[in-house]
Structure 1
Amino acid sequence: MCEIYSGAEPELFALKTRSIRIDGVVTSIRLEAVFWQILQQIADEAELTIAEFLTRIYREVLLKNRQMSNFSSLLRVACTTYLNQGTRLVLAQPISDLESLTT
């Protein structure tokens, strides 16, 4: 049953670090290779470079929240939203309930 998930090629989940300029500041972002591929698709569809796309996301988050807590995680969530055709996933259970399942 889990072969579709467990059988992923190691290249897809290999961590890749890229230096990106956001608002004139060079920063390093570390994501799995598959997420970089998805971000490239999103940027291509928007006719933007990855740097332009990430800068837009970064600025929008700062406008809404005034802070950035975990940009890499936000990008992973953005990719899942893209793969779900713009539908954001919602946690079915509170995080505290999920944590109790792992202990």
Structure 2
Amino acid sequence: MNDTSNQVPEFIKSGESGLLWQYVQSLSPETIAQLSKPSSADVFQVVERNIIGLLGGLPSDNFDVTITTSREHLGRLLASAMMSGYFLRNAEQRMTFEKAFQVAESNASDEQ
């Protein structure tokens, strides 16, 4: 790698992304670890399938596959995977809230 290997890609440092990058850097390692864990097995599987789809259908285990990319492109792949994970987590939370609301609404109508 060259001297710029430890630099943050421009797309992360500029604009609103720059504020996000500063925020992420301010987080404790424990918080980063907690945010990095999939919230459920379902979310993990969807993110995994998404990454495999982005990389292309990888051959079975009978093949030795090597993927070569730049640090910038790998960073973009990581950002895409993270955004997908956040989106799925938010969708999962919304689904849970809607189910809880439906149960509460049903219980309230049963009491009347």
TM-score for the superposition, normalised by structure 1 = 0.27
Q: Where is the strand percentage greater, Structure 1 or Structure 2?
A: 1
Higher relative contact order (CA 8 A, sep 6+): 2
Q: Answer with 1 or 2: which has the greater Rg.
A: 2
Q: Where is the helix percentage greater, Structure 1 or Structure 2?
A: 2
TM-score for the superposition, normalised by structure 2 = 0.26
